[in-house]
A and B are shown apart, each in its own frame.
Chain A
Amino acid sequence: MSLLQEAFQYLNDPFNWTRPNGILDLAAQHLRISVTAVLAAMVIGIPVGALLGHTGRGGGFTVALSNVSRAIPTLALLTVFAVTPIGFGPTATTIALALFALPPILTNTYVGFRGVDPDVVEASRAMGMSGRQVVFRAELPLAVPLLMTGVRTAAVQVVATATLAALVAGGGLGRIITLGFRQQDYGAVLAGAILVALLAVGTEVLLSVVSRLVTPGPSRFALGRVRTRRSATGAVTAAP
């Protein structure tokens, strides 16, 4: 297993971490792009999903959106934005990734608000809550678990997908992998793969902890992802 040794040698060299465009630089860039993309998708997806779920409209639209989005290759979207006048670089990558994060957040928010027991809504109305209060004090807390599942799915997907930006001259940790392939340095390739995989798994773990913390009521295990739930048109989340 000399290859694994090479990978650890690469990871063990402090220069590989601290030099310009080293691991630390690339990881920071990776995280900056990912966080911006997920936040942008949340800013758009959560209010729209909440509104659609609250009014009970547009269910077909959100399901169709999330299904179609799975068919679009990430690579295609990343490339298409890079050849528009935006030009390639962090901006194009961020926009493409935000578009990819939108469907899971939108759909899960919608399903979360839609799934609130109508009796609860009725009871809150009967207690004299206004429409705004019903949304924020009855529906939102009940929708949080699913909403957070959406955010977690989207975030993991974005962190994973940001790797692909390196294929179209974007930044991020994927660069170590693409550069390694180009230089036939498979030790570096493996090292990059390990870093990227750890980052993705770390995001997943971190966000499941966060989602358990923000879920009101007695703590329970995180709900299964919507991906495993079957609907007539298939599951709800998109590919990595």
Chain B
Amino acid sequence: MLSAASPTVLAADAAPNPWFDPSYVTENWDTILAYLGEHVRLTIAAVVLGALLALPLALVARRSRWLAAGVLGVSTLVYTIPSLAMFAFVAPVTGLSATTVLVGLVLYSLVILVRNFLAGLQSVPGDVQEAARGMGYGPVRLFWQVELPLALPSFMAGIRVATVSTVALVTVGVIVGHGGLGQLITGGFNANFYRAEIVTGAVGCVLLALVADLLLAGAERALTPWARRVRS
């Protein structure tokens, strides 16, 4: 430890420094909203772009076992790279901008999504595909009307996982100054361990993740009305 003081002389212990402080939230509402907006924008952009890239990849990968193994291997490798290192790899190219964070996040969500998309497509029974082809379905119609509905639960599960972990990962963007609510966490840390700000950022992240997950769960229910009938 270079600059770390010994635990006993923390300035945090001297002055009143509550964990929860409603007045902090009300007084800094505009700042919090701005960070929240950035957080949400980054998350949505990362998941949408990741899905747009993952779908063609999964469609190509399922054509052969070698391609599928290659895609899974590369995705495991990418997933292993620590987020801070990922942003550090990207930062020299795109600089200290939100783009740096976005590129890193897209890579992670892409990796999660391509696995789930592939699993979903592979779970479509061969009999069903054959029957559809026998009825004269072309490849495009086969995908939209047969495979996509059957693979949808797996797709949605992947999107939910990707969304929740992206919300958590955005905070690491503080390294380039675009960490959404993560800015509050490090901001409070640097402002002499101001606990109210840290807790606001942390709780905000968790709430955002839960809300996003609930919304997606609702969307999944709405998109798969047949599943409800079977289950009930």
Q: Which residues of A contact B (CB under 8 A)?
A: 3, 21, 67, 70-77, 79-80, 82-83, 85-90, 156, 159-161, 163-164, 166-169, 171, 174, 177-178, 180-181, 186, 189-190, 192-194, 196-197, 200-201, 204, 225, 227-228, 230-231, 234-235, 238-240
Contacts and interface: CB of A to CB of B under 8 A. Distances in A.
B85 A177 contact: yes
A230 B116 CA distance: 8
Interface of B: 1-8, 10, 12-13, 76-77, 79-86, 88-89, 91-92, 108, 115-116, 119, 153-154, 157, 160-161, 164-165, 167-169, 171-172, 174-176, 179, 182, 185-186, 188-189, 193, 195, 198-199, 201-202, 205-206, 209-210, 213
Counting chain A CB atoms within 10 Å of each CB, the highest count among B77, B171, B210 belongs to: B171
B205 A76 contact: yes
Contacts of A3: 92
Contacts of A194: 85
28 contacts: A70-B164, A70-B165, A70-B168, A72-B168, A74-B172, A75-B186, A76-B201, A77-B202, A85-B7, A87-B7, A164-B84, A167-B84, A174-B84, A178-B84, A189-B88, A189-B91, A192-B85, A200-B80, A200-B81, A227-B115, A228-B119, A230-B119, A230-B153, A230-B154, A238-B165, A239-B169, A240-B81, A240-B169
B152 to A, nearest CB: 12
A85 B13 contact: yes
A89 B7 contact: yes
B82 A75 contact: no
B185 A73 contact: yes
A87 B12 CA distance: 9
Contacts of B3: 169
Contacts of A238: 165
A217 to B, nearest CB: 24
Nearest to A187: B92
A192 B172 contact: no
Nearest to A196: B85
Given A73-B171, A156-B80, 6 more contacts: A76-B198, A80-B198, A88-B4, A174-B82, A178-B84, A193-B86
Contact of B82 (A89, A196, A230): A196
Given A88-B4, A177-B175, A163 B13 contact: no
